[in-house]
């Protein structure tokens, strides 16, 4: 829910899209079952809504089909310090809504759209390393290059990229660290070191943007 065409429903009971968070449905947590519904037959819009333990929470988003321009919507779950189990319809959580919606597993494969595939081998992976003085424009170039090549799905590695993701309700966490910069930098550095260890084992494309 922090990016364009990303639509979320969080455990705090808020919905989000494009970095904007609003009150929406009930809070949820451990043991709850959350369902996501997409109605492509609502006229010129796609209606997105959610279930909590079988209870419909109402329409969360109305997305103009013209804005999607044929782009597919992909299910995604973002978690921290917890485990989840995915269910694409086999457990039957729709209840009375089963008359209006299809379970994902019941859809013909012609309705599916495969996402962009990653590198098939380590030999096909790309790793770009930014070199230059501070404030020379390395990060700006890296972000633009990644945006201009969406098929590459570059992962930008650097403390700046990590701190930009330290958000609470779409707001950068840096604002909450006023006067405690010495706390934030070591945390971001530890995260970066761990990400580099993970990156070495993954078949992906990377841009190392670290002074």
What's the whole-number average pLDDT of the chain? 88
Q: Does residue 93 sit in the same domain as residue 62?
A: yes
| 117 within domain boundaries | no
Q: Does residue 90 sit in the same domain as residue 179?
A: no
Beta strand segments in 10-126, E:
14-17, 20-23, 34-42, 45-52, 55-64
pLDDT higher than 70, residue 174: no
Residue 39 is part of which domain span?
Answer: 7-111
Q: Note the pLDDT tens digit of each residue in 122-170.
A: 899 999 999 999 889 999 999 999 999 988 999 999 988 888 877 666 5
Q: Does residue 132 sit in the same domain as residue 155?
A: yes
Q: Does residue 36 sit in the same domain as residue 62?
A: yes
Q: Which of 45-59, 90-104, 152-166 has the lowest mean pLDDT?
A: 90-104
| 196 within domain boundaries | yes
Say if residues 206 and 171 touch (Cβ distance below 8 Å): no
Confidence class for position 178, pLDDT limits 50, 70, 90: low
| 204 within domain boundaries | yes
Rounded distance between C-alpha atoms, residue 170 and residue 167, angstroms: 5
Q: Does residue 62 sit in the same domain as residue 141?
A: no
Q: Which of 2-16, 59-73, 84-98, 142-156 has the lowest mean pLDDT?
A: 84-98
Domain end: 92, 111, 130, which one?
Answer: 111
Rounded distance between C-alpha atoms, residue 90 and residue 68, angstroms: 28
Q: What is the largest CA-CA distance in the chain?
A: 61
Q: Which of 23-27, 78-82, 125-129, 167-171 has the lowest mean pLDDT?
A: 167-171
Confidence class for position 182, pLDDT limits 50, 70, 90: confident
List all residues 6 or more positions away from 99 whose beta carbon is below 8 Å from its beta carbon.
none
Q: Does residue 97 sit in the same domain as residue 172?
A: no
Reported as type and span, the H/E element at residue 172 is: strand 171-172
Residue range 94-111: average pLDDT?
80
Reported as type and span, the H/E element at residue 8 is: strand 7-9
Say if residues 174 and 160 touch (Cβ distance below 8 Å): no
Residue 137 DSSP symbol: S
**Predicted pLDDT at 140:** 93
Rounded distance between C-alpha atoms, residue 102 and residue 117, angstroms: 26
Rounded distance between C-alpha atoms, residue 44 and residue 78, angstroms: 29
| 64 within domain boundaries | yes
Q: Does residue 106 sit in the same domain as residue 68?
A: yes
| 158 within domain boundaries | yes
Sheet strand arrangement including 34-42: 34-42, 45-52, 55-64
Q: Does residue 100 sit in the same domain as residue 131?
A: no
Q: Does residue 107 sit in the same domain as residue 135?
A: no
- Proportion of the chain above pLDDT 70, given as a percent: 92
Better pLDDT: 44 or 106: 44
Q: Does residue 71 sit in the same domain as residue 130?
A: no
Q: Does residue 37 sit in the same domain as residue 98?
A: yes
**Predicted pLDDT at 84:** 92
| 1 within domain boundaries | no
**Predicted pLDDT at 175:** 56
What's the number of domains the chain is made of? 2
| 2 within domain boundaries | no
Q: Does residue 70 sit in the same domain as residue 141?
A: no
- We report the CATH number of the domain holding residue 193 as 3.40.50.300
The torsion angles phi and psi of 20, rounded to 5 degrees, stand at: -105, 130
pLDDT higher than 80, residue 54: yes
């Amino acid at each position: 829910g922090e990016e364009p065409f990303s639509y979320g429903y969080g455990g705090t009971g808020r919905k989000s899209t494009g970095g904007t968070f609003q009150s929406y449905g009930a809070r949820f947590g451990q043991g709850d079952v959350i369902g996501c519904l997409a109605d492509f037959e609502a006229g010129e819009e796609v209606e997105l809504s959610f279930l909590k333990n079988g209870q419909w929470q109402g329409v969360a988003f109305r997305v103009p089909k013209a804005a999607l321009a044929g782009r597919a919507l992909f299910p995604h779950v973002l978690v921290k310090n917890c485990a989840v189990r995915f269910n694409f319809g086999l457990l039957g959580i729709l209840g009375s809504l089963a008359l209006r919606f299809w379970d994902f597993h019941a859809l013909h494969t012609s309705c599916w759209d495969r996402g962009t595939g990653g590198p098939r081998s380590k030999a096909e992976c790309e790793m770009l390393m930014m070199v230059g003085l501070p404030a020379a424009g390395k990060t700006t170039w890296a972000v633009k290059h990644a945006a201009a090549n969406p098929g590459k799905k570059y992962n930008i590695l650097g403390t700046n990229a990590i701190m930009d993701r330290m958000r609470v309700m779409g707001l950068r966490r840096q604002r909450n660290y006023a006067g405690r910069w010495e706390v934030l930098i070591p945390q971001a550095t530890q995260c970066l070191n761990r990400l580099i260890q993970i990156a070495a084992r993954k078949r992906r494309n990377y841009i190392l943007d670290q002074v």
